Each structure stands twice: as structure tokens, then as C-alpha cells.
Amino acid sequence: MVVERNRPPLHSSYVVSADTEPIHKLIGREIRAFLYEGDCLKLLAVIPPESMKLIITSPPYNIGKEYETEQQSLKEYLEFQAEVIAGCVRALDPTGSICWQVGNHVVNDGEVLPLDIVLHPLFKKLGLKMRNRIVWHFEHGLHCQRRLSGRYEVLMWFTKSDEYTFNLDPVRGPQKYPGKRHFKGPKTGELSGNPLGKNPSDVWIFPNVKNNHIEKTAHPCQFPVELVDRMLLATTDVGDAILDPFAGVSTTLAAALLRDRVACGAEIKADYVEISKGRMAQAIAGTLPVRPTGTPVYQPTTERIAQIPAQFLQARFEAIGGSAPG
């Protein structure tokens, strides 16, 4: 259930600044969002302790993306991540959650290192407890030639204590058989499912933000609003504060604005800060293009491009004697 807290009404503005000072306006709920244009460590240093209810981010993976100025050694990368995580834990409310969304670091010779494996100990060392390792499955990405193509990333969800906010009802999903009834015992004949839907489980299936996605911007690796939306509905209440230390084009801040939370973040690249301004303004105005949470993944059926061309059938027959997938 979404709980209304006794807080002052939310002001409708956001601030973007290369000065950290506006964080105090956000904490005082004088503004709804604050994007710091600079290094997240500088922002983390001024966020009041225990003031953030949810910290959700997708950090750089250190795989040579255009926003990664120089590739670090794994040791340097983990040292930097440890410093950011320590700052986040300090800023986290005792009943709050941290979600680190990561994929694989790929070494030059093609060796794959799932980042959750090497980052998990950093969170444990600071006393956090993992509640779920959520697998986010999507269908589009690089077609690999020397290994299987990667089609999932993970969301590591930690809490600071055993007393943490978890609102299951707002994130329940549709049941496969909602009309199922008890077939024995005293409730025979009565509906057996939860009328609000089922627990969405730790496997999430929705598209990643590629070129034809309605939320796509110039950022090469933005995550979808739905990913943040589910976590914020489950782990925060209206008016709570959310932080994204690696904000990118401010998907987290926009998602928070859409659900009447307040949010702050840091982004080091000016181009993404510019795009963020537009997205936050659109979120406040209610015009941000968003793929609605819970929309089923599109399944092509009758379109021509969904049919197997005759040449492919012929090529498969010649290559493997006709036993290829139909």
C-alpha cells in the first residue's frame, strides 16, 4: 500500500547545479529534485546521514563506454566503487534500500566477469543484507560470436537493517490463472489467488532501452523507468527521498517525480545533464514519454518480418538437414 506521510506539499521545481548547496533545499522539501553536475563523491560528502530512503543506480561497468574516460584496472574500479558504496550507506535511512544494477565487465580477451560477484563483498563488508538478486531479462543486445549472447543483467537489492520498508501490493502482477479455486478443504470452490495479483518474483521481463524504445535518449546505457518504478513502489512511500549517484539522463529522478517522491543525483557529463533537465521538466509536467509499468512484452505475430524467409529455410536445410528451429 502507498502510504501518505504527514509532510509538507511538494514544491514543483527541480534544480541542476555545479554547486552542492541545493541538497539542503531538497532535504527541506523546498524543491522536488536536485541534479548535481559533478563527481558523485562530492555530492555524497554533503548528503545528511540517513536521509535517503532508496539509493538506486547503474554504475559504469568499466568496459570502455563513451562516458568512461579511461579504463581502470579492476582493483582501481573496485576501490572507487567501495568509496561510493560507503558514501551511500552513510546516506541511507536505517529502514532504507540500496539497489545496484549491473551487468558484466568484459576483459579484452573476451573473458566475462559478472560485476555482482565482485561487488557483493563490498556491501557485505558494510553490514548490508541482500534481499534479492533480481534477474532482469531483455531480448535485444549484441550478437556474440564466441559465447552466448547476454540477455540479462541483475539488480542487487540490499537493506541496511531487518526493519525495512517493503510494500508488496503496489508491485503485484497479473496471475496466470486468476480464476483458480480451492479444490479441497473448507474453502473448496472459493477463489484461491490474491485479488491484488501475484508477487512479481525475482525475474523481471521488460525491454531494455534500445533505439525504438519510447524512452530512448542519446545516452547509450539508460535503464527503463519501469526498473526504478518497481523498486521505488516497493521500498519507499510518497514524499521519501531517492538518490542515484550515477544519474546519467536522470531516469531515477524522473521516475521519482512521477510517483511523488523527491530525488537527487550526480552526473559528471554535461551532455547528459542537459538531457536530464528536459526529462525532469517533462516528468513534472506529466509529458515524459514512458513505457507504462506492467505493459506485456510485444510478441510479433503476423507481420512479414516475423515470418521465416524461404532463403533461410533453404540455408538451414543445407547446413543442418532441416532440423533448425522453425
Ligand X SMILES: C[S@@+](CC[C@H](N)C(=O)[O-])C[C@H]1O[C@@H](n2cnc3c(N)ncnc32)[C@H](O)[C@@H]1O
Q: Which residues bind ligand X (CB under 6 A)?
A: 39-40, 58, 60, 67, 219, 221-223, 246, 248-249, 251, 266-269, 272
CA distances (Å), origin 322, targets 107, 305, 311, 319, 325:
37, 21, 13, 8, 9
Closer Cβ to ligand X, 95 or 252, answer by number: 252
Could you identify the residue written with the cell 524467409? 309
Shortest spacing between CB 63 and ligand X, in angstroms: 10
Q: Do the Cβ atoms of 61 and 107 come closer than 8 Å?
A: no
Shortest spacing between CB 49 and ligand X, in angstroms: 20
Shortest spacing between CB 40 and ligand X, in angstroms: 4
Shortest spacing between CB 51 and ligand X, in angstroms: 19
Element (H, E) at 266: strand 262-267
Q: Do the Cβ atoms of 321 and 246 come closer than 8 Å?
A: no
Closer Cβ to ligand X, 181 or 210, answer by number: 210
Closer Cβ to ligand X, 101 or 235, answer by number: 101
Radius of gyration of the chain (CA): 22
Closer Cβ to ligand X, 262 or 275, answer by number: 275
CA distance 139 to 208: 8
Residue of this chain nearest to ligand X (CB atom): 248
Closer Cβ to ligand X, 81 or 236, answer by number: 81
Shortest spacing between CB 194 and ligand X, in angstroms: 32
Closer Cβ to ligand X, 67 or 152, answer by number: 67
Shortest spacing between CB 70 and ligand X, in angstroms: 11
First to last CA, the chain: 45
User: DSSP readout, 193-206?
Assistant: S-TT-B---SEEE-
Q: Which three cell numbers stand for residue 184?
A: 479441497
Q: Which residues does 118 contact at the CB level (< 8 Å), separation at least 6?
A: 74, 78
